[in-house]
Amino acid sequence: MVARIVAAGLVSDPRVIEALGVVPRHLFVPKALVAEAYGDHALPIGAGQTITQAANVGRAAELAAIRPDARVLEIGTGSGYQAAVLARLAGQVFSLERIPELAAEARRVLAFLGVRNVSVKVFDGTYGWREHAPYDAIVVAAAAPDIPAPLVSQLSATGRLVVPVGPANRQRLLVVKKLPSGRTRTEDAGDVAYVPLVGKFGWGKAPTEVGS
């Protein structure tokens, strides 16, 4: 899987490549789907959610430019797979998940793997986690209609926010970079497809239910 991602030119950072290669993705999917765990595609994990495509996990981590001592916020714990990858790259990862059963299962698998630098909380991730801000990187694992303002406000002076933005079926992966002036610059990293980011500063409900 990792070799295919690298060959496709989607990830080039050696630290990210190592993290993708070390984290056992099959432990984060339902038992019935273990045989498909290393295909580079999303898989259902229950509650209408999916484990993010590994290439997108790698791309987001690389774009976030995570240092070994970084404090990282993840929005959308899901299965816990991306949190485990981020944990290999960062000093501390704080992860928010709105669905309690997913958060509980992610905690279980992370504990089984001995991952001790990830904290998971059940909360509306679109608010961020102000208690532990500022963050050197914020990685959003679901698609928002617009860039959530509370997340931008929780970036450090040189922080980066990586967030997919757009409608239900296809989005653009955006990178919001804090500048020394305190302003931000947004860069477009290309097409992606994520599940909707549901919450106060995301979709109030799934986009298929949202009026035009």
What pLDDT score does 206 carry?
65
Averaged over 127-154, what is the pLDDT? 98
Asked whether residue 17 is assigned to any structural domain, the reply reads: yes
In degrees rounded to 5, what are phi and psi of residue 42? Answer: -70, 155
Asked whether residue 112 is assigned to any structural domain, the reply reads: yes
- Count the Cβ atoms, other than its own, within 10 Å of residue 1: 14
Provide the residue range defining the domain that includes 52: 2-203
Q: How many distinct structural domains can be found in the chain?
A: 1
- 10 pLDDT band, cuts 50/70/90, is very high
Asked whether residue 75 is assigned to any structural domain, the reply reads: yes
Q: State how far the alpha carbon of 80 is from the alpha carbons of 29, 71, 86, 154, 198, in Å.
A: 10, 17, 10, 22, 18
The domain that contains 159 carries what CATH number?
3.40.50.150
Asked whether residue 124 is assigned to any structural domain, the reply reads: yes
Asked whether residue 208 is assigned to any structural domain, the reply reads: no
Averaged over 87-101, what is the pLDDT? 98
Look-up of token digits 């509370």: 150
| pTM of this structure | 0.95
Cβ(25)–Cβ(1) below 8 Å: yes
Asked whether residue 211 is assigned to any structural domain, the reply reads: no
DSSP string, 128-173: --GGG--EEEEEE-SBBSS--HHHHHTEEEEEEEEEEESSSS-EEE
% the chain with pLDDT above 90: 92
Asked whether residue 35 is assigned to any structural domain, the reply reads: yes
Asked whether residue 170 is assigned to any structural domain, the reply reads: yes
Q: Is residue 204 predicted with pLDDT exceeding 90? A: no
Look-up of token digits 């653009």: 172
User: What value does the mean pLDDT of the chain take?
Assistant: 95
Q: Is residue 205 predicted with pLDDT exceeding 80? A: no
